[in-house]
Structure 1
Amino acid sequence: MEITSLISALIIGLVVGGLGRLVVPGRQNISTLMTILVGIGAALAGTLLAGAFGVADTDGVDWIELALQVGLAGVGVTALSRRRSRQRH
Protein backbone atom coordinates (compact mmCIF):
# COMPACT_ATOMS: atom_id res chain seq x y z
CA MET A 1 0.00 0.00 0.00
CA GLU A 2 1.42 3.36 -1.03
CA ILE A 3 1.26 6.49 1.12
CA THR A 4 -1.29 8.09 -1.23
CA SER A 5 -3.51 5.05 -0.87
CA LEU A 6 -3.21 5.29 2.91
CA ILE A 7 -4.11 8.98 2.97
CA SER A 8 -7.05 8.51 0.61
CA ALA A 9 -8.27 5.56 2.71
CA LEU A 10 -8.23 7.77 5.81
CA ILE A 11 -10.16 10.55 4.08
CA ILE A 12 -12.63 8.11 2.59
CA GLY A 13 -12.93 6.53 6.04
CA LEU A 14 -14.65 9.64 7.30
CA VAL A 15 -17.36 9.21 4.67
CA VAL A 16 -17.44 5.41 4.93
CA GLY A 17 -18.17 5.60 8.67
CA GLY A 18 -21.23 7.71 8.02
CA LEU A 19 -22.40 5.44 5.22
CA GLY A 20 -21.81 2.38 7.40
CA ARG A 21 -24.01 3.92 10.05
CA LEU A 22 -26.71 4.65 7.49
CA VAL A 23 -26.89 1.06 6.22
CA VAL A 24 -27.46 -0.32 9.72
CA PRO A 25 -31.16 -0.18 10.62
CA GLY A 26 -32.29 1.26 13.92
CA ARG A 27 -30.61 3.54 16.41
CA GLN A 28 -26.92 3.11 17.16
CA ASN A 29 -25.75 4.24 20.58
CA ILE A 30 -22.23 5.27 19.61
CA SER A 31 -20.66 8.69 19.29
CA THR A 32 -19.79 10.44 16.07
CA LEU A 33 -16.09 10.08 16.88
CA MET A 34 -16.46 6.32 17.25
CA THR A 35 -18.34 6.19 13.94
CA ILE A 36 -15.48 8.03 12.24
CA LEU A 37 -12.89 5.71 13.80
CA VAL A 38 -14.85 2.65 12.67
CA GLY A 39 -15.07 4.17 9.19
CA ILE A 40 -11.32 4.76 9.03
CA GLY A 41 -10.62 1.20 10.16
CA ALA A 42 -13.14 -0.18 7.67
CA ALA A 43 -11.68 1.93 4.87
CA LEU A 44 -8.18 0.63 5.58
CA ALA A 45 -9.36 -2.97 5.90
CA GLY A 46 -11.50 -2.68 2.76
CA THR A 47 -8.58 -1.27 0.80
CA LEU A 48 -6.34 -4.12 1.95
CA LEU A 49 -8.99 -6.73 1.10
CA ALA A 50 -9.62 -5.20 -2.32
CA GLY A 51 -5.89 -5.28 -2.98
CA ALA A 52 -5.69 -8.91 -1.88
CA PHE A 53 -8.58 -9.84 -4.20
CA GLY A 54 -7.08 -7.84 -7.05
CA VAL A 55 -10.03 -5.48 -7.49
CA ALA A 56 -8.44 -2.30 -6.10
CA ASP A 57 -6.94 -0.93 -9.33
CA THR A 58 -9.68 -0.39 -11.88
CA ASP A 59 -10.50 2.43 -14.28
CA GLY A 60 -12.78 4.95 -12.62
CA VAL A 61 -14.44 4.38 -9.26
CA ASP A 62 -13.56 1.15 -7.46
CA TRP A 63 -17.13 0.14 -6.61
CA ILE A 64 -16.18 -3.26 -5.20
CA GLU A 65 -13.64 -1.66 -2.87
CA LEU A 66 -16.19 0.92 -1.74
CA ALA A 67 -18.79 -1.80 -1.12
CA LEU A 68 -16.27 -3.74 0.97
CA GLN A 69 -15.47 -0.62 2.99
CA VAL A 70 -19.11 0.32 3.64
CA GLY A 71 -19.99 -3.29 4.50
CA LEU A 72 -17.13 -3.53 6.97
CA ALA A 73 -18.14 -0.19 8.49
CA GLY A 74 -21.70 -1.44 8.91
CA VAL A 75 -20.44 -4.55 10.66
CA GLY A 76 -18.17 -2.45 12.87
CA VAL A 77 -20.92 0.01 13.80
CA THR A 78 -23.30 -2.84 14.61
CA ALA A 79 -20.74 -4.68 16.73
CA LEU A 80 -19.75 -1.56 18.65
CA SER A 81 -23.34 -0.49 19.18
CA ARG A 82 -24.32 -3.91 20.53
CA ARG A 83 -21.29 -4.00 22.79
CA ARG A 84 -22.13 -0.59 24.24
CA SER A 85 -25.80 -1.50 24.76
CA ARG A 86 -24.78 -4.65 26.69
CA GLN A 87 -22.53 -2.59 28.94
CA ARG A 88 -25.42 -0.32 29.89
CA HIS A 89 -27.72 -3.20 30.94
Structure 2
Amino acid sequence: MSWLWAIIVGFVLGLIAKAILPGKQQIPLWLTTVFGIIGSVLGNAVAGWIGVEDTRGIDWTRHLLQLVFAVAVVGLGDMLWVAVKGSRQRA
Protein backbone atom coordinates (compact mmCIF):
# COMPACT_ATOMS: atom_id res chain seq x y z
CA MET A 1 0.00 0.00 0.00
CA SER A 2 2.89 2.38 0.62
CA TRP A 3 3.94 2.10 -3.05
CA LEU A 4 0.44 3.09 -4.11
CA TRP A 5 0.58 6.16 -1.87
CA ALA A 6 4.04 7.03 -3.20
CA ILE A 7 2.69 6.93 -6.76
CA ILE A 8 -0.38 9.00 -5.87
CA VAL A 9 1.63 11.61 -3.95
CA GLY A 10 4.28 11.71 -6.70
CA PHE A 11 1.60 12.21 -9.34
CA VAL A 12 -0.06 15.05 -7.41
CA LEU A 13 3.23 16.74 -6.50
CA GLY A 14 4.48 16.42 -10.07
CA LEU A 15 1.33 18.03 -11.46
CA ILE A 16 1.48 20.85 -8.91
CA ALA A 17 5.17 21.38 -9.73
CA LYS A 18 4.35 21.58 -13.45
CA ALA A 19 1.64 24.13 -12.68
CA ILE A 20 4.05 26.25 -10.61
CA LEU A 21 6.86 26.23 -13.16
CA PRO A 22 6.58 28.87 -15.88
CA GLY A 23 6.12 27.78 -19.48
CA LYS A 24 5.23 24.40 -20.88
CA GLN A 25 7.18 21.39 -19.71
CA GLN A 26 7.97 18.74 -22.30
CA ILE A 27 8.18 15.71 -20.01
CA PRO A 28 5.52 12.99 -20.29
CA LEU A 29 3.05 12.30 -17.50
CA TRP A 30 4.77 9.11 -16.32
CA LEU A 31 8.06 11.01 -15.92
CA THR A 32 6.26 13.81 -14.08
CA THR A 33 5.06 11.18 -11.61
CA VAL A 34 8.56 9.72 -11.20
CA PHE A 35 10.03 13.19 -10.62
CA GLY A 36 7.26 13.92 -8.11
CA ILE A 37 8.12 10.74 -6.23
CA ILE A 38 11.80 11.69 -6.19
CA GLY A 39 10.93 15.18 -4.94
CA SER A 40 8.77 13.70 -2.22
CA VAL A 41 11.53 11.35 -1.06
CA LEU A 42 14.07 14.19 -1.03
CA GLY A 43 11.67 16.44 0.88
CA ASN A 44 11.06 13.70 3.45
CA ALA A 45 14.80 13.17 3.85
CA VAL A 46 15.45 16.87 4.46
CA ALA A 47 12.51 17.01 6.88
CA GLY A 48 14.09 14.14 8.79
CA TRP A 49 17.48 15.84 8.85
CA ILE A 50 16.03 19.04 10.32
CA GLY A 51 13.76 17.14 12.71
CA VAL A 52 10.29 18.01 11.38
CA GLU A 53 9.31 14.76 9.66
CA ASP A 54 6.73 13.83 12.29
CA THR A 55 4.83 16.50 14.18
CA ARG A 56 1.38 16.73 15.74
CA GLY A 57 -1.35 17.48 13.27
CA ILE A 58 -0.54 18.25 9.65
CA ASP A 59 3.16 18.27 8.78
CA TRP A 60 3.10 21.54 6.83
CA THR A 61 6.88 21.94 6.82
CA ARG A 62 7.40 18.43 5.46
CA HIS A 63 4.77 18.94 2.76
CA LEU A 64 6.28 22.28 1.76
CA LEU A 65 9.73 20.69 1.50
CA GLN A 66 8.28 17.90 -0.65
CA LEU A 67 6.73 20.48 -2.97
CA VAL A 68 9.91 22.57 -3.18
CA PHE A 69 11.97 19.54 -4.09
CA ALA A 70 9.34 18.31 -6.56
CA VAL A 71 9.45 21.70 -8.31
CA ALA A 72 13.25 21.55 -8.44
CA VAL A 73 13.37 17.97 -9.71
CA VAL A 74 10.63 18.52 -12.32
CA GLY A 75 12.38 21.68 -13.52
CA LEU A 76 15.79 20.03 -13.78
CA GLY A 77 14.31 16.85 -15.22
CA ASP A 78 12.48 18.81 -17.89
CA MET A 79 15.71 20.54 -18.92
CA LEU A 80 17.48 17.17 -19.13
CA TRP A 81 14.57 15.63 -21.06
CA VAL A 82 14.62 18.44 -23.62
CA ALA A 83 18.41 18.24 -23.94
CA VAL A 84 18.40 14.46 -24.47
CA LYS A 85 15.31 14.44 -26.66
CA GLY A 86 16.63 17.34 -28.74
CA SER A 87 19.99 15.67 -29.32
CA ARG A 88 18.26 12.44 -30.42
CA GLN A 89 16.17 14.29 -32.98
CA ARG A 90 19.24 15.92 -34.54
CA ALA A 91 21.05 12.63 -35.06
Taking structure 2 as the reference length, what is the TM-score of the superposition? 0.80
1:56 aligns with 53
User: What residue identity is the alignment partner of 1:56?
Assistant: E
- Give me the whole-angstrom Cα distance separating, in 2, the residues matched to 1:39 and 1:85: 18
2:78 aligns with 81
Give the ranges of 4+ consecutive aligned residues of structure 1 lying more than 6 Å apart after TM superposition.
none
Provide the identity percentage. 30
What runs of 5+ residues in structure 2 fail to find an aligned partner?
none
1:29 aligns with 26
What runs of 5+ residues in structure 1 fail to find an aligned partner?
none
Q: How many residues align?
A: 84
- Give me the whole-angstrom Cα distance separating, in 2, the residues matched to 1:31 and 1:13: 14
Structure with max Cα Rg: 2
Shift of 1:86: 2.3
Taking structure 1 as the reference length, what is the TM-score of the superposition? 0.81
Shift of 1:45: 1.3
